Amino acid sequence: MKKIVVLTGAGISAESGISTFRDSNGLWENHDIMEVASVSGYNKNPQLVQDFYNKRRQQLFEVHPNKAHLFLKELEQNFNVTIITQNVDDLHERAESSHLIHLHGELRKARSERNENMIINWNKDIKIGDLAEDGSQLRPHIVWFGEMVPMMDNAIKEVKTADILLVIGTSMKVYPAASLIDYVKNNIQIIYIDPNDSFQSNSIIHIKKKATEAIDDIKKILGL
Ligand code: APR
């Protein structure tokens, strides 16, 4: 079976009702991204950041995977599929995709403030005073600006062995995630799905549509 690696971003969850980051003049849920998704923002106002992620975690109970998430599961019938997502929602899990790497963490996990490897499943609000086993404050298991991306090496290994790269719903503006496209083997097919011209490159096939509307185009290119 040929191997497809799918790099997804906020755009694949947009049609499930989850806001993207850079579609709305740089504000994310009315916050400057650096205020709520950076180490400095957390140190400056931990309560604001905890509340911000509590709201996003709560939202997970109101949204569902859309046809694009489900299509990636269906692709497993014909291809060996690995998804590398920048998203922290659980929609790929709920679409039952089998091989999934979260580069930027997961909303439904929490971790020790002190030890990034002390991670637990967590589905309710995190309150100041909720402690990890090491006695430090629990914080969202999210990779913030200014922090390392621990899953990057695994992701690079996956991309290096891809026969086809599918990029869905990411502006390719955040590194190191965006650099994954540089690790593909020579001359493999790169298909980019985005209704906007967020990312330009002369060696890719750009399907200028929303994720759910691009499914038939992707199937045609893949010979399905
Ligand atoms: N279908 C496909 N793509 C879409 C859709 C849709 N329905 N709606 C919007 N898009 C596209 C936008 O045009 C944009 O290019 O999805 C892309 C979303 O880009 P961003 O908002 O920058 O999100 P993303 O690329 O996932 O951000 C990467 O930045 O803030 C950090 O850690 C955060 O993981 C996030 C990272």
Any bridge partners for residue 13, and if so which? none
Spacing, Cα 37 to ligand 1 middle (Å): 15
Burial class (CB in 10 A: 0-12, 13-18, 19+), 77: exposed
Does the C-beta of 85 come closer than 6 Å to ligand 1?
Answer: no
pLDDT at position 95: 98
In this predicted structure, the answer to whether residue 25 has a pLDDT above a threshold of 80 is no
In this predicted structure, the answer to whether residue 86 has a pLDDT above a threshold of 80 is yes
pLDDT at position 26: 60
Q: If phi over 0 gives left and psi between -120 and 50 gives alpha, with beta otherwise, what is residue 158?
A: alpha
Instruction: Give the percent of the chain with pLDDT over 90.
Output: 91
| Residue with CA nearest ligand 1 atom 17 | 170
Sign of CA dihedral 155, 14, 167, 74: positive
Which of 20, 67, 85, 196 is the pocket-test mutation for ligand 1 (most atoms within 8 Å of CB)? Answer: 20
Average pLDDT over residues 53-69: 97
Q: Which residue has the tokens 């205020």?
A: 35
pLDDT at position 68: 98
Q: How many CB atoms lie within 10 A of CB 42?
A: 24
Which of 18, 22, 28, 208 is the pocket-test mutation for ligand 1 (most atoms within 8 Å of CB)? Answer: 22
All structural domains of the chain: 1-18+65-104+149-224 (3.40.50.1220), 20-62+110-142 (3.30.1600.10)
In this predicted structure, the answer to whether residue 1 has a pLDDT above a threshold of 90 is yes
In this predicted structure, the answer to whether residue 73 has a pLDDT above a threshold of 90 is yes
Spacing, Cα 62 to ligand 1 middle (Å): 20
Does the C-beta of 170 come closer than 6 Å to ligand 1?
Answer: yes
Does the C-beta of 196 come closer than 6 Å to ligand 1?
Answer: yes
Spacing, Cα 128 to ligand 1 middle (Å): 30
pLDDT at position 23: 73
Spacing, Cα 76 to ligand 1 middle (Å): 24
Active-site residue list: 104
In whole numbers, what is the pLDDT of the chain averaged over residues? 96
